[in-house]
Amino acid sequence: MPKISLTEKALRRLMSEFRSQTKDCEDITAEAIAANPRFLLLLRLNAGLSQTSFEQLLGMSKNIHKYETGAIRRMRRNQQFLNI
């Protein structure tokens, strides 16, 4: 898996947006993640998982890095793992 490079400023901005969209992390919805798949990076880092382990947990193909880097900007709401 390719490494993800993120500045501290960009990480703080992403975390701020995540907190705003999830009511300070208390209401993490599939819609919020589908609207900004980069939030998966925060969830994965918080869980302490590698990209491979996170993909296995979610039952995803090897595209997690594309979501985390923003290469894929929106997810389909019906993605199976969004219903977990």
Residue pLDDT, tens place only, 4-44: 777 899 999 999 999 999 999 999 998 888 888 889 999 99
Q: pLDDT tens-digit profile of 55-79? A: 888 887 777 888 888 887 776 654 5
Q: What's the domain count of the chain?
A: 1
Q: Is residue 2 part of a domain?
A: no
pLDDT of residue 42: 93
Q: Is residue 3 part of a domain?
A: no
pLDDT of residue 49: 94
**Can you give the residue range of the structural domain that contains 57?**
8-83
pLDDT of residue 15: 95
Euclidean distance between CA atoms 18 and 24, whole angstroms: 8
CB distance 37 to 75 below 8 Å = yes
Q: Is residue 1 part of a domain?
A: no
Q: Which of 62, 56, 59 is nearest to 1 (CA)?
A: 62
Place of tokens 């994965």: 44
Place of tokens 């993490």: 28
Euclidean distance between CA atoms 53 and 37, whole angstroms: 17
Q: Which of 44, 54, 59, 53 is nearest to 6 (CA)?
A: 44
